[in-house]
Structure 1
Amino acid sequence: MTHESLPPWTISLGELDEKMGVSILEQSAERVVATMPVEGNRQSFGLLHGGASLAVGEAVGSWAAVIHASTLGKTAVGVDVSATHHRSARDGTVTITATPIHLGRTLTTHEVLLTDEAGRRLCTLRITNLLLDKPATVSSVEP
């Protein structure tokens, strides 16, 4: 099977994603879209926590990178993430959308936007992932 014909990796939520209430709406190498409730992800002043924005943004951007990498027979690991908070939210649902800036053979860079229900930009992230060969699987050996 050539790398071009490999099926793309499918997103599986991690423990933090589940605790934050993340739901996947769309997944492909060109676009990953998820949602997250503000409730349960607020800081002490009642606003969406900046750390929650970074955590969900990094997850969605990394998922997009892994989907791309999987079609090349590789995996992806994050090497850089930065974010700008534009405004906050007190309630409702946040939509997180990752789109590629660059899809290479060794690096990917994605822009990740967090928007509120009115479509206003809350946070912009940029994440870069390094594409690595998948580690060889170890076959089980009977004692």
Structure 2
Amino acid sequence: MSKSIWFHPISIENFKDSSVNMDKHLDIEIVEIGDDFIVGRMPVIEKTKQPYGILHGGASCVLAESIGSTAAALSMDNTKKYPVGIEINANHISSPTDGYVYAKATPVHIGGSTSVWNIDITNDTGKRVAFSRFTAMHKNHPET
């Protein structure tokens, strides 16, 4: 059995009704968590499509950054640090028109001041839609 990369024990139950802000607007939700990965999904609907009826590349990037940021947050002591995205890139491979897209974040590097995450985005049948690399800076909470 592999050792968990998460700072505190975590389960999918911790994510019930946890969507806020941009994630809530785009209906992004966490659907799976393993010892070294996390998966979120987003529907391909009017608010996530571009004018030609296909998934908007920006929506894919929001999904990737949301899941990457969640993974980064889970891998650190949130009483001392919090993640801030400093770089994201994405390659869009296919153009779904309906269903859901799923983003699976796995770590490339988890350090004290940064973490880097690969995020693979697939459709309902497992076909790759996009892939992304996300880097988070681990910022110290301001002194209070």
TM-score using structure 1 length: 0.82
Q: CA separation of 1:78/1:29 partners in 2, compared to 1, >3 Å: closer, same or farther?
A: farther
1:66 aligned partner = 73
Question: Is 1:30 the equivalent of 2:31?
Answer: no
Question: Is 1:135 the equivalent of 2:142?
Answer: yes
Question: Is 1:13 the equivalent of 2:25?
Answer: no
Q: Percent identity?
A: 33
2:83 aligned partner = 76
Quick check: which has more Rg, 1 or 2? 1
Could you tell me which runs of 5 or more consecutive residues in structure 2 were left unpaired when the two chains were aligned: 1-6
Q: Provide the rounded CA distance (Å) in 2 between the counterparts of 1:136 and 1:26.
A: 34
For the aligned residues, what is the CA RMSD?
Answer: 2.1
Could you tell me which runs of 5 or more consecutive residues in structure 1 were left unpaired when the two chains were aligned: 1-5, 138-143
Q: Provide the rounded CA distance (Å) in 1 between the counterparts of 2:126 and 2:32.
A: 17
Deviations 1:110-130 (A, max 9, x none): 001110011011010101111
Deviations 1:24-65 (A, max 9, x none): 113467211111110131111000011100111111101111
- How much has 1:96 moved relative to structure 2? 1.0
Moved over 3 A (4+): 6-12
Deviations 1:75-127 (A, max 9, x none): 11111111100111001111111110111111100001110011011010101
CA contact (8 A) 1:8 1:70 kept: no
1:52 aligned partner = 59
Q: Aligned AA for 2:22?
A: L
Q: Aligned AA for 1:69?
A: M
The number of residues matched between the two structures is 132
